[in-house]
Amino acid sequence: MFTRFSASPPAPAPGAAPDLTRRRLLRNGTAAAGALLAAGPLSGCASPAAADASALSVWDLFQGGDGMLMDDMIKAVSKGPQGFEVERTILDWGPSYYTKLAMSAAGGRASDVAIMHLSRLAGYAPGGLLDPFDLDLLAEFGVSQRDFAPAVWSRTQHDGTVYAIPLDVHPFIVFYDKEAADKAGLLDSSGELAPMGSPEALLDAGKALAKATGQKGILFGHVTDTAQTWRQFAAFYAQTGATFTLPDGGPPKIDVDAAVRVVTFMQQLFDGRTNPNNLDYNGAMAGFIGGRGGMIMLGEWELPTLKKSGIPLGAARFPQVFEKPGVYTDSHSFVLPHQENPDPARRRQAHRYVAEMVKQSLTWATAGHIPAYQPVLAEPEYAALDPQSSYADAGEVAVLDPPNWFAGAASNFQNRMCQPLQAALLGNTSAEKAVRQMVREADTLLRQPNPVA
């Protein structure tokens, strides 16, 4: 799907793209190399010049409400004599998006700018599928490293070079019914969810919410989902202070004792009585909206849906129950897909476009996303957003997937971690066996050759 936003014409388009050769595809392939070859013709993946040689071409995966907000942001930066002429291509979210993004870069048909989850960077930057940002050029347009939380900025780099500029931080958080939470005695003097501080406190909160609602306490939909239990596990595991790393060639470096401690707690929390253990994603959403639970663990991206429900809605950073703060997150980030011979003037326009778009992220925040560009967080208009401002500090303690080519959003890694975790929550295996299976799955993935090495 193409969307055109017109303004004053930018710099000329670059020269003709090189042919896709087998040698180049093999050199610049990704973990989905087989899928690349099997994907068939790419929808909306023609050369940017074929669409409009004068427009800055951008790719993203935002549809629905997010897609409309992205339209609003592009329209805002396209106004006036210094505005951009933008050709926006919207592709389907999921593995297919990353397949098409990789193939466009490998085949010399890349857009000027694209959106990528920051957790996927390790699968693209090392293989030459992305071009680095010129930080001096970004600084000229008013954007620099100091404008981003260190926890997020640290993941924008490969070998010390910056390949991504974050637009947002989108964390895994808790939403709660304010009336139920108040009745349960869980709110502080300002009417916000009080800190938990320990596993026992969160268990007690679930019981108090169940009593307050007359139904269930904390809802969590995970059955058949390919990411949910991993998000929860990753947050709690990071809170123990343990590290989860995936060194090339293996073995994975996982603190097994800490992981068993976390999975055991997850089983206690979702015991099938106070807090259900067998809900799928839609079932948990429906239960919370229908008043059958006082709290739900979800991504902040569900805020627009929940606000429409009429619930007296509150939101908070994912509860810290172990020794240190940690919130599982990802980040939609701007990247520069690789081009063989980028035109300097057009590349300069791409940098200016990225700088102007992150400055527009107050609009983006209305959907629940936390602006990664911190000057926006300091604006009174952001502080007035309710409940968004309640979890704004999640970016400071962001925890992303461990960096490796096979990990990240919509990856097989998340799916393979979720399977033993789901089995543990459903009572089909022990915490110890689930963790051992996670270690085996991670080791199997690490033994696969990295296609971009």
323 and 222 in a common domain: yes
Does the pLDDT value for residue 71 go beyond 60? yes
Mean pLDDT, residues 127-154: 97
Whether 159 has a pLDDT exceeding 50, the answer reads: yes
* Structure confidence at residue 36 (pLDDT): 35
> Which one-letter amino acid corresponds to residue 239?
Q
Considering the domain architecture, whether residues 269 and 356 belong to the same structural domain is answered as no
pTM here? 0.89
Rounded-to-integer distance, Cα 257 and Cα 235, Å: 16
Whether pLDDT at 19 is above 70: no
Mean predicted confidence (pLDDT) in 422-436? 98
Predicted pLDDT at 5: 64
Give yes or no: residues 7 and 44 share one domain.
yes
pLDDT at position 43 is 32
> 224 and 320 share a domain?
yes
Q: Are residues 124 and 160 in the same domain?
A: yes
Residues 187 and 277 in one domain: yes
Chain mean position to CA 52: 30
Cα–Cα distance measured from residue 117 to residue 164, given in angstroms and rounded to the nearest whole number: 9
Residue 403 lies in a domain: no
Q: Which amino acid is at 136?
A: D
> In 3-state terms, what secondary structure has residue 280?
coil
In which band, very low, low, confident or very high, does the pLDDT at 108 lie, cut at 50, 70 and 90?
confident
Number of H helices, E strands in the chain: 19, 18
Q: Are 215 and 291 in contact (CB under 8 A)?
A: yes
Domain carrying residue 290: 170-329+411-446
pLDDT tens sequence across 235-257: 999 999 999 999 999 999 999 99
Would you call 429 helix, strand, or coil by DSSP? coil
Least trusted range by pLDDT, from 16-30, 86-100, 207-221, 425-439: 16-30
User: Has residue 225 got a pLDDT over 60?
Assistant: yes
* Residue 49 clears pLDDT 90, i.e. is over it: no
Gap between the Cα atoms of 381 and 375, Å rounded: 12
Q: Identify whether residues 433 and 286 lie together within a single domain.
A: yes
- 371 has which bridge partners? 168
Q: Is the pLDDT of residue 25 over 90?
A: no
Residue 453's pLDDT is 63
The confidence score (pLDDT) of residue 452 equals 66
Q: Using one digit for the tens of pLDDT, what is the confidence trace for 282-316?
A: 999 999 999 999 999 999 999 999 999 999 999 99
